[in-house]
Structures are given as structure tokens and as C-alpha cells.
């Protein structure tokens, strides 16, 4: 496959993954309304593992090579443990719109970690586009949330963003040697010895008393955000390169905000569309900028 075609396919796969991930914060916010955030983080990991383990067995996938186990374990710690736990705690203290402030930094952090880990060397134009896009995301999220100060949820969101970004970059390296779906499958299975006991320990005392919509939110976070979304995201990063494909994630904040607006009875205003157009422009510039692959 030609290099340009690989990058284009990588961007398309990355966008599908981002569209799935966009529902993560809204689903998490609903789940933690009545459930312990530790249970939400562990429970979604258990659900993902329940889908991954049979798939690995049916397809008779071999155990990962020894050189990949370390990266898989690190990715598991960051993506299966770190991000869900930090974001779950944060959603108890800040609204979804405010959460997009710090998660808007993820593309820039992912590109930075990817440059260190995979040897990608983005040009100055790429970094200018990345910083500009991230700045638009942050400014718009602050405008939408109506908050200008910090809360206890803010450092948790910083930790969540850093965990996700480093996890993406680490997983992308392994995705060059095995399919993206297999990478996340092994990661959630590796986490099972910890996620299952924590889920049992922190589960609601009366599961029947928890409303259906909260269980559905947990189901989305586990099966889609934690598992199926990575099928597309890992494959996209491996095909198109971490630095370039990570910029598609700049669109995630706006997809998230558009998803929660109908629930809150809101409608996108002119600022929303102008900001979205500016982010798309940054992604396009980043797409055209030179990146020397490692």
C-alpha cells in the first residue's frame, strides 16, 4: 500500500475510533452518579475482557512475544487502569463540557509521546497546527463549560489525559506487529487479575436498585470505549503514524459536546461551528505537514 494511502486509511480508522471514544465522558458521568468510580473503572475493564478472551480463544491467537509483553502491560496500566479511574473520579466533580478542556490536550500529548517512542519527527508546521488546534479546543471548552477556575477534578483530568496519550503511543508501537484489536484484547485480559477483584469488591450493594440507564452507560464504557473503539484507533495509529493520526482526536471534544447537547436541551451556536471549523482546519494542516517517520 502506498504511503499516502496508508495515511489516509489510518486517518479514517482513527476518526471511527474517536467517534466511539466521544461517548466515554458522557457515559462515565451517568455511571458514576450512582456507582463507585472504582467499580466503573474495574467493571468496564471486566466487560471488555469478557468480550476479548473468547475472541482470542476462538481465533486461537498465540501468546504475545516476550518483547511485546512489557508494552502491553504498560498500555494496560495506562488505558485499562489509569484513564478510566482518573476520568471516573473527575466526572464526580466537573461537568462533561469542562472535562473536554484537558482531554483536548490528548492529541498534542500523544504526538509528543509518539515522537519519543516511535521516532517520528514532526515538522514545525505540524507542531504549529497541533498547538493551534489544541488551543482552540481548550478555549471553546472553557467557553462552553462557563468555568475559568480549577476544581479538584482538574488534576484528575490532567492525569487522565496523560495516561490516555502515553497509552495510545505505547499501544501504537505494538500495533505495528499485531492487529489493533489483538493489542487491546491482550491488554484487557492482562488486567483481569486486578480488575475482576476490584469490580467484585466495589460493586453496588443492591445492583437491582441501580437504574437501567446507569448499567447501559457502564456497558457502553466497557464494550465500546474500552474495547471496540480501540480496534479502529490502534489500527489507525499504526497505519498513519502516531503524530498525524493523533490530531484527529482534536475533533473528539466537539463530537462529545454535540452528543450531550440534545440531552441537556441545548443547540450548537455560531461559536460552536466556528470553533469546529477551526479545529478541522488545524487537522487538515497537520495532515499536509511533513513528518519524518522513524
Contact 283/133 with Cβ under 8 angstroms?
yes
Number of H helices, E strands in the chain: 15, 2
Q: Is the pLDDT of residue 115 over 90?
A: no
The residue length of the chain stands at 294
What does R_g of the chain's alpha carbons equal in angstroms?
A: 18
User: Residue 122 forms beta bridges with which residues?
Assistant: 291
Q: For the chain, how many structural domains are there in total?
A: 1
Q: Does 94 or 267 have the greater pLDDT score?
A: 94
Q: Please state, in angstroms and rounded to a whole number, the distance separating the CA atoms of residues 167 and 263.
A: 31
Q: Please state, in angstroms and rounded to a whole number, the distance separating the CA atoms of residues 137 and 101.
A: 7
| Mean pLDDT (whole number) for 189-211 | 95
Question: Residue 142, Cα to own-chain centre: how many angstroms?
Answer: 20
Structure confidence by residue, pLDDT tens digits, 203-262 = 999 999 999 999 999 999 999 999 999 999 988 888 888 777 877 888 888 888 888 777
Nearest to 106 by CA among 76, 125, 86: 86
pTM: 0.84
Q: Provide the residue range defining the domain that includes 138.
A: 3-292
Average pLDDT taken over every residue of the chain: 86
Structure confidence by residue, pLDDT tens digits, 49-72 = 999 999 999 999 999 988 899 999
Contact 218/46 with Cβ under 8 angstroms?
no
Which three cell numbers, joined as nine digits, stand for 29?
A: 458521568
In angstroms, what CA-CA distances link 158 with 66, 83, 95, 193?
32, 10, 15, 27
Amino acid at each position: 500500500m502506498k504511503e499516502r494511502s496508508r495515511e489516509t486509511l489510518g486517518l479514517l480508522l482513527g476518526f471511527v475510533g474517536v467517534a466511539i471514544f466521544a461517548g466515554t465522558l458522557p457515559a462515565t458521568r451517568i455511571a458514576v452518579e450512582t456507582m463507585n468510580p472504582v467499580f466503573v473503572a474495574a467493571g468496564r475493564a471486566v466487560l471488555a475482557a469478557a468480550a476479548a478472551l473468547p475472541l482470542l480463544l476462538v481465533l486461537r491467537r498465540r501468546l504475545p512475544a516476550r518483547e511485546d509483553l512489557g508494552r502491553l502491560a504498560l498500555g494496560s496500566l495506562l488505558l485499562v487502569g489509569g484513564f478510566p479511574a482518573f476520568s471516573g473520579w473527575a466526572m464526580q466533580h466537573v461537568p462533561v463540557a469542562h472535562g473536554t478542556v484537558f482531554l483536548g490536550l490528548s492529541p498534542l500529548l500523544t504526538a509528543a509521546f509518539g515522537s519519543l517512542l516511535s521516532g517520528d519527527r514532526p515538522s514545525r508546521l505540524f507542531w504549529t497546527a497541533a498547538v493551534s488546534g489544541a488551543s482552540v479546543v481548550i478555549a471553546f471548552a472553557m467557553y462552553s463549560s462557563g468555568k475559568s477556575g480549577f476544581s479538584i477534578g482538574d488534576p484528575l483530568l490532567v492525569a487522565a489525559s496523560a495516561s490516555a496519550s502515553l497509552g495510545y503511543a505505547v499501544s501504537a508501537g505494538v500495533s505495528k506487529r499485531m492487529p489493533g484489536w489483538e493489542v487491546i484484547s491482550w491488554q484487557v485480559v492482562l488486567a483481569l487479575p486486578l480488575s475482576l477483584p476490584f469490580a467484585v469488591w466495589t460493586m453496588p450493594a443492591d445492583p437491582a436498585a441501580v437504574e437501567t440507564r446507569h448499567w447501559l452507560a457502564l456497558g457502553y464504557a466497557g464494550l465500546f470505549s474500552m474495547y471496540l473503539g480501540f480496534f479502529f484507533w490502534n489500527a489507525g495509529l499504526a497505519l498513519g503514524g502516531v503524530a498525524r493520526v493523533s490530531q484527529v482526536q482534536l475533533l473528539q471534544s466537539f463530537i462529545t459536546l454535540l452528543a450531550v447537547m440534545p440531552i441537556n436541551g441545548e443547540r450548537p451556536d455560531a461559536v460552536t461551528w466556528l470553533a469546529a471549523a477551526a479545529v478541522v482546519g488545524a487537522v487538515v494542516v497537520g495532515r499536509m505537514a511533513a513528518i519524518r517517520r522513524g
